[in-house]
Structures are given as structure tokens and as C-alpha cells.
Structure 1
Amino acid sequence: MLYIIAGVSGSGKTTLGKLLAKHLNLPFYDADDFHPQSNIEKMKRGQALTDEDRFPWLLTLHDNLVEWNKQSGAILACSALKEKYRSILSGNNEVEIKWIFIVADNLLLKQRLHGRENHFFNPLLLESQLKTLELPDYGLKIPADLSLEQQLDMIIF
């Protein structure tokens, strides 16, 4: 089974994704690790990525999801902000994905982003991500302010 933990930067995708992967004994991947260097440099400078910047990255992630699906499955932490991005990731539903969206208020997100160390995401980009976010009607919505154990319980049960 493939799981994508989605949400804006600072919502807790990676932390929850690693915990879920350990619980389900599945490999964990962070979509940030698949960005080309040009995207990373752009985000470090505080410049929002365009759809054109994201397209090759999303295709790479889709290709990996197809391969991971052939194996035992995987957990992927990925912003997946727009519906068209989620469509690319799933290959227009070519692969079945369990979508989990972490939702958080701006204050919590800002606190988390400013407390981060060694991450290329410039906190100034949060507003652009929030404006871009298209929260879908499908998938599990998990509040970011719950404990990790509560979040995991919402997924597992």
C-alpha cells in the first residue's frame, strides 16, 4: 500500500511519515530528497516554485511510487499542494494511494518552521504554500496539533 502524508511545510509530514513507516514496517521517503538542486537553491533564496519547477520533480515521484507499489509499498511525505499535483503523483489513479492531509493553523506552522535547523525551506515561503494549497474532499484530515500517537491512531484505526 502507498501512503502519502501531505500538507504545507512545517505541518509534520516527515515526523508522522517516519512513525507510520516504522509502525507498518514500510520504507519511508521524503519528497524533498527528490528535488533537483535548482529547486532547492530557489527555495533557499525564498522564491516560490512554479508549476514548471515542480513538474519534473512530480514525475520523478510518480515513477518512484509506481516502483514502490510493485514492492511492499511505501510512505511518502510530500506537500502535494494542488489537485493537479496529486493527479500526477497517482498517474491519474494508476496507483492506489491512501491520502493523509495534515492541517495546521498559521501560528503553529510558523513556530515549527522557525524552530527548524538544517532545512533548505525558507520560512518566508509558507504564505505562498498556504495560498497554493487546495485541500481536497477525499483523504484523511489530521490536525497537526494532536500528539503523534493521536495522529497515528487516526490513521491505523
Structure 2
Amino acid sequence: MVSPIVVMGVSGSGKSTVGAALAQRLRVPFADADDFHPPANIAKMTSGQPLDDEDRHPWLEAIGEWLADRCATGGVMSCSALKRRYRDQLRRHCAGVEFLHLAGTAEVIGRRQASRPGHFMPASLLVSQFQTLEPLDADERGITVDVDQSIDAIIDASAPRLSTDATEKENR
């Protein structure tokens, strides 16, 4: 069995690209959290305003419901999940969810962001994303991977570490 996986990180870290590739490798469904935003959230971000916790709560609930539907069968969701409390909200829907944190410097992420014109999240919000980011704590299920490498290298390094359930991991 595959535990649901959330590919997390700041905007421009490659969550959607890595998430889709990881889901393909694991042969599970993929969803992009950007598709779960209500129009008001997208309008707010497009205008250069960061979302607040009130904006994020219903969005995270919708993502949590998607994860809950895949607790037993697995799936991959790309979602910023920048704060511990956001990840806790997702875990309330599916306790076994694991996180793949795509980490990188502001310089690396900024370059990546600049290469994707037309995305609703403007580069001007990157600073607020890094200010909000709370990396995975030691007691959270998941791993952190440096994004300054190829997609294949990220998938090769992370898939074996994320692709089995907790019972199998404990028996290794």
C-alpha cells in the first residue's frame, strides 16, 4: 500500500512537476492543490496579496477530503503546506499522509518562478512564502529534498523512501 503523499514547498519549488512525476512512478492519482482554490483566493494572489489562514482553511479542508478518499489506496497532492498547522489540518483527514518537502534557496526558487510566466502566483509573493515556511519537524512523516537537481534525481531519491506504508517502514 502507498500512503498519500503531499509534495510541499514554496511557490516555484516544482511541486506540480515533481508531484505528477512521483504519482506516475508510484502509479497513483495526482492532484494539484492550485485546482482546489476558490476564485476569491486566486484573485487575491493574482493581485499580489498573500492568503491568510482564514483564506486557506476551506482550501485545506478540500485538499484534506481528497487525501481522506485516498488514505487506503494512495495518491499524490501538490500543496504548499507551508506551516505545521496546515499539515496538521491535512493529517486530521488522513493520519498516514507523508510529506515531500522540496527545499531550495530563494535564488534557485526565484529562477524557477521566473521561468513560468502566466502563473497566478506572482514572484512578488515569494518573500512572504519563505517567511511563512515552517520546515518539517522531526516528528512529522516525510523527507526534505533539495530542488536544485533534476526531476528524475528527486524522484529516484524520494520514491523509495515514501512509497510504502508505516508498517512496512517499521519492519525495515
TM-score normalised to structure 2 length: 0.86
SS at match of 1:100: strand
**What is the identity, as a one-letter code, of the residue corresponding to 1:148?**
I
The equivalent residue for 2:64 is: 62
**What is the identity, as a one-letter code, of the residue corresponding to 2:151?**
L
**What is the identity, as a one-letter code, of the residue corresponding to 1:130?**
F
Extract unaligned runs of 5+ from structure 2: 161-172
- Matched positions, count: 155
Q: Could you tell me how far 1:156 is from its partner in structure 2?
A: 2.5
The equivalent residue for 1:85 is: 86
- Matches of 2:16 and 2:10, distance apart in 1: 11
Q: Deviations over 1:23-45 (max 9, x none)?
A: 11111100010000000000000
**What is the identity, as a one-letter code, of the residue corresponding to 1:131?**
Q
Q: Summarize the alignment of residues 24-39 of structure 1 with structure 2, pairs less than 5 Å apart.
A: 24-39=26-41
SS at match of 2:70: helix
The equivalent residue for 1:144 is: 147
1:108 correspondence with 2:108: yes
SS at match of 2:119: coil
Native 8 Å contact 2:12 2:112 kept in 1 = yes
Q: Summarize the alignment of residues 5-44 of structure 1 with structure 2, pairs less than 5 Å apart.
A: 5-44=7-46
Q: Could you tell me how far 1:94 is from its partner in structure 2?
A: 4.0
Extract unaligned runs of 5+ from structure 1: none
The equivalent residue for 2:77 is: 76
The equivalent residue for 1:118 is: 118
Kindly report the root-mean-square deviation, in angstroms, between the aligned alpha carbons of the 2 structures: 1.2
- Matches of 1:131 and 1:114, distance apart in 2: 19
- Matches of 2:115 and 2:10, distance apart in 1: 16
Aligned match of 2:5 in 3, 6, 16? 3
